[in-house]
Each structure stands twice: as structure tokens, then as C-alpha cells.
Chain A
Amino acid sequence: GEDVEQSLFLSVREGDSSVINCTYTDSSSTYLYWYKQEPGAGLQLLTYIFSNMDMKQDQRLTVLLNKKDKHLSLRIADTQTGDSAIYFCAEISGGSNYKLTFGKGTLLTVNP
């Protein structure tokens, strides 16, 4: 079945860039997402990218997609303490337009 892998932890200093990486196995993925989860809260969609794109930029966020290697990354520029959260990579496979498969999440810690 589909699988999404992420590193579990990332620690950066305030003002630096953060890069969170994700790999997936389903070559028929149509949409790939990044969700953010703050403590005690539900998941919030940050950004998404279509599988026919290789880059998407949205203010401080840059998403890069390498479809050949099935690799997705999220870059946060000028990381702030408020960016500390768990970030989830997720994909919707081509075989199902409704089911999201999530990675286990990357805990981003931003140190002042």
C-alpha cells in the first residue's frame, strides 16, 4: 500500500531556514500536502502541490517536488518560534481522490 516517510525531529535557530523532507511510494499520487499541527490542536493545511508541478512558493513557504525520486520538501524561510509544531506530509493517491495517507510527522523546534 501507500507509504509516506518523514524524519521525526528537526531543530533550528530562529531566523534560519527549516527544511522538512518527505518521501512517498505511490507513483500515482495526484496531490501532496503539508499540514501543521500545533499542540492540542487539529491539523491545519499549510500548502499543497499538484503532482505535475515541481515547485510552489507561498510567502515564507517553498514546496519542492521531485516526482522521479518521490521526494517532497517544505522550506520555511526566516523560521520563527511560532513555527514550532508538528508538520505532516500527506498524499492522495491516483486510485482514491478522498483518502489522505499521512507521514508520522516531523516535530520542528525553533530555538530563540
Chain B
Amino acid sequence: DAGVIQSPRHEVTEMGQEVTLRCKPISGHDYLFWYRQTMMRGLELLIYFNNNVPIDDSGMPEDRFSAKMPNASFSTLKIQPSEPRDSAVYFCASSYGQGSEQYFGPGTRLTVT
């Protein structure tokens, strides 16, 4: 398997624009996680899905952030409108089963100017 795939790897956008980050989990994994990494706050869990259903979105910063998982092989994290403070590296991870190892994608580095 190619591992967790994220696109784009880098995104530079202007404040106010919509940003969509994409993730393809490892085939067969039933959990998918979105994290955000910043120097100030470290790694934060934003939201996670089980069998395509959002289970806990308490880490989503505000209504500007939304995530979907229309099928088992694809998820999106959308920010609309984007702000400079959203600049971070966003990671997607997937796992199989309860409490098992999470496999991380390479991340998307987002810069909002």
C-alpha cells in the first residue's frame, strides 16, 4: 500500500480564500483523523471519523472549518474563509480498529497570507 496520501503537499493562499485539503487513507482502515501542527500548540486533533461517520469534532477550531468523508477512501478538510492564523501543517492519519497504530500522511503545509 502507498500509505496515507495527502494533497496538496503545499498550499499558499490569500486570506479570505477557500482552502480544501484532501486525504486518501490506507485501504481497509476504518478510522481517519485530521490533525493540525503548529509551533505554538503542537499537534492538535481536529476531528476523526469511524466508518466514514464523524465521531468527535470537538477539536475543530470554529465554523470556518469543515470536514467530510463521502466514502471509505477519501476525506476533505475545508477552511472557508481562510485566515493567516490557519497557517500550519495539516496531517491526516488512518488506523484499523480500536486503539491501534495510526499511520500518518506526509502532511499539507498551508500558508495563508
Contact = CB atoms under 8 A, between A and B. Distances in A.
Contacts of B99: 30-31, 92, 97-98
A77 interface: no
Interface string B41-85: 011010010100001100000000000000000000000000000
Contacts, number: 44
Contact of A99 (B4, B45, B104, B107): B45
B34 interface: no
B22 to A, nearest CB: 15
Q: Report, as a range, how many residues of chain A touch the other chain.
A: 10 to 19
A100 B106 contact: no
B108 to A, nearest CB: 10
Nearest to B44: A102
Q: Report, as a range, how many residues of chain B touch the other chain.
A: 20 to 34
Interface of A: 30-31, 40-45, 48, 88, 92, 97-100, 102-105
Contacts of A48: 101
Nearest to B55: A98
B39 to A, nearest CB: 9
The majority secondary structure among interface residues of chain B is strand
10 contacts: A40-B106, A48-B101, A88-B43, A97-B98, A98-B50, A99-B48, A102-B42, A102-B43, A104-B42, A105-B42
Most interface-central of B55, B98, B101, B106 (chain A CB within 10 A)? B101
Given A98-B31, A98-B48, A99-B56, A42 B98 contact: no
A75 B55 CA distance: 35
A52 B65 CA distance: 38
Interface string B2-36: 00100000000000000000000000000100000
Nearest to A40: B106
Contacts of B93: 42-43
A42 B45 contact: no
Contacts of A104: 42-43
